[in-house]
Amino acid sequence: LVGMTFGKTLAWSAGKPFIAINHMLGHLYAAHLENDISYPYLGLLVSGGHSIICKVNGFDDIEVLGTTVDDSVGEAFDKVSKFYGLGYPGGVVIDRLAKEGNPAAASFPVPHLDGAEHRYDMSFSGLKTAVIHQCDMFWNDGFEHSTENMCAAFQETACRTLTTRLFRAVEDTGLKTVVAGGGVAANSRLRAILAERTDIQCIFPPLKLCGDNGAMIAGVAYHFLARGDRSGWDTTASARIPQFKRGLKNN
């Protein structure tokens, strides 16, 4: 609210157009800033607040195929890191420690969401709980109970949860281009798993543009501005994005 009020005030006082930008559209557009990407493609939006698989038909034409039914993947990273006192942001710390661990050290549970309506949906609450409160229960024999091993096993399960759903969408839609965005798009293991699929073109923003940044917002705003769109002075902010619900189109 503070940021939007500042933006409105700046636009009004300078006599400039005011355009309110959907934050998730910004993350999805970040990869476009340094790449020429054709529509349509599959989007993978992974951040502290969202885990979304969507079909992207245009810069503001998004069809959500799947999303998390509880926690986002970024939230799971942050909460596991906070519980074990590893630091913040959790995704960065866990990614670094996981490089020194073995992902086979623990077999954490993978959620099974039944029904065709959940084909692309994800869940991270159970995984987070297992890592925090039931870690010993899922530990495999012969592996040291180290923080590095725990991080590697947790990260592997989280990334596989994302990519298995994403790959279903690839097979079902026939779209072979995947564009990622959001803070978790910087995760090295997620990037490596996607790189293994040589039949898919996976495009990531540079690491400096995976987190929140003004460039991605300005990039989306440029297209709205060129189309002649403007936002009213009565536009307000929302902590939830109703357009980014499964089955709805954002256009």
Domain boundaries, the chain: 2-250
Average of pLDDT values for 92-115? Answer: 92
C-alpha to C-alpha distances, 166 to 34, 117, 150, 162, 229, nearest whole angstrom: 23, 15, 25, 6, 32
Domain 2-250 fold is: Nucleotidyltransferase; domain 5 (3.30.420)
3-class state of residue 117 by DSSP: helix
Q: Which helix (H) or strand (E) holds 157?
A: helix 147-173
Average of pLDDT values for 112-135? Answer: 89
**pLDDT of 245 above 60:** no
**pLDDT of 237 above 90:** no
**pLDDT of 247 above 60:** no
User: Using an 8 Å Cβ cutoff, are 80 and 125 in contact?
Assistant: no
- In degrees and rounded to multiples of 5, residue 186 shows phi and psi of -85, -10
Report which residue type is found at 225. L
Predicted confidence at residue 251, as pLDDT, reads 47
**pLDDT of 246 above 70:** no
**pLDDT of 241 above 70:** no
Give the model confidence (pLDDT) of 153-199 as tens digits.
999 999 999 999 999 999 999 999 999 999 999 999 999 999 999 99
